[in-house]
Every structure is written in C-alpha cells, then in structure tokens.
Amino acid sequence: MTVNLLKAGQSIDLTKANAGLKNVTLGLRWGALVNKSPEQRKEKTGILSRFFKGAQFTYKSAFEVPAVDVDSAVILVNEDGQKIDRIYYANRRCRGVLHAGDDLTGNDQYGEEDNEEIYINLENLRSDVKEIYVVANIFSGANDFSSLRLRGSYVRLLNSDSKEELVRYELDEFKGMRGVILGKLYRSKNEWSFKALGKGVKTGSISSIESSILHDIK
C-alpha cells in the first residue's frame, strides 16, 4: 500500500494496515544516487541486521551534482509533550533509532536508495515514546526547497523489511522554506499511525524547528 500524503491533517494507520510491521525507514533524497552492486547490497543487509552496533557506510556517486547539504531528523516526544531525544547527524542513535550518516553534499549516499536514511524499530523504542516528528532542513547550498538544485527531492517512509513505500512528500513543493515538519508517527496503545503535518518553516536551523514543534504541542 503506497500512500502519497498531499494534505496536512491526513492520517493513516501503519501497523493496522500493514500486518507485522516492525521496522520503518525514513529516506531523504535530494542529490546523486549510486546503483548498488550485489556486494554492496549484501553489506547493507548486514548493517541493518546489526542495527545499532556503530556501523557506518557510504557510497560515492560516479557523477556529482552541485553541493547541497540537506539534513534529516526525528524528534522523539513523550505524552506530556516533552522531548525525549533528537536523532540527527550529530546524535545518530538512541534505543530503537539509528541515523545512517550525514550526506554533506548530495554526492555521498548513506542509504541503499536515498541520500540519508533513519531506521526505526517500533518494537524496541522506549515505552514513553508517544510521538516521533519527522523533519528535513536545508543546512547549506540552496535558498529553499523550490531551488532547481532540489527539484525531485523527497522524504518517504518505507517498510524496512518489504521495501514497500508507505508515505512520500515531495519537498520542492515547499517554496520559500528551508525547513519542513513533514509529519509524525504516533502511538495509540500498541498501534502506530502517521499524521501528515506539512508545515514549512523559513529557518534551516534544526534547533529552531524543534522549538517550533515543542511550542505547538503545548
């Protein structure tokens, strides 16, 4: 089931609609991508099986695009609206979450199919994690997400095991914005859902975006 969320406020059931869903991947794409050899794909499978044991990997594109640094992040929040953790390039792991690595230019790829990926094991998260906010921001190299350099960029949510795409946002729709709060995964009892937020913000500062999220919760 592939769902392209086009309207803010739309929600979908993740675990109810996808029986056995345990692992999801947040993929961010904006630059050059590498076609993986069978050996590289085997390496990636081994990394995911070890999940949080510090492995890091990167693939170099055979051609280069103009350098743009876009960052992916997730903000973990409890039921009181308090931040538990932020997982991004400078803080890459916590219980149940791993950030694969920071693509600084769009030419170094830290995911199998995307420039950056964040892996979430829904069953291994801390029990007090209520919501997981999905964020992308431009660090350098482009003025906003409508830049020609970022045409075709997206953030998507995948079933890590089946590779099925569940949710996708086209980032170049956010004209004039350097950051975007895409949506949130949220837990109700033992079930997980995703709600589209689609809120663009003019700042590219991840700290400012996080502050906006926490302020809006309150």
- Give the fold, CATH level 3, of 3-217: Lipoxygenase-1 (2.60.60)
Per-residue pLDDT at 4: 58
| CA quadruple 162, 163, 164, 168: dihedral, nearest 10 | 150
State which residues of the chain have pLDDT below 70. 1-7, 35-57, 59, 61-63, 218
DSSP 61-130: -SS-----EEEEEEEEE-TTS-EEEEEBTTB-EETTEEE----SSSSEE-SSSSSEEEEEETTTS-TT--
Confidence (pTM): 0.87
**Digit-coded pLDDT (tens) for 62-72:** 567 778 999 99
Rg (CA), the chain: 16
| Residue range 125-165, pLDDT digits in tens | 999 999 999 999 999 999 999 887 888 889 899 999 998 98
Residue 45, SS3? helix
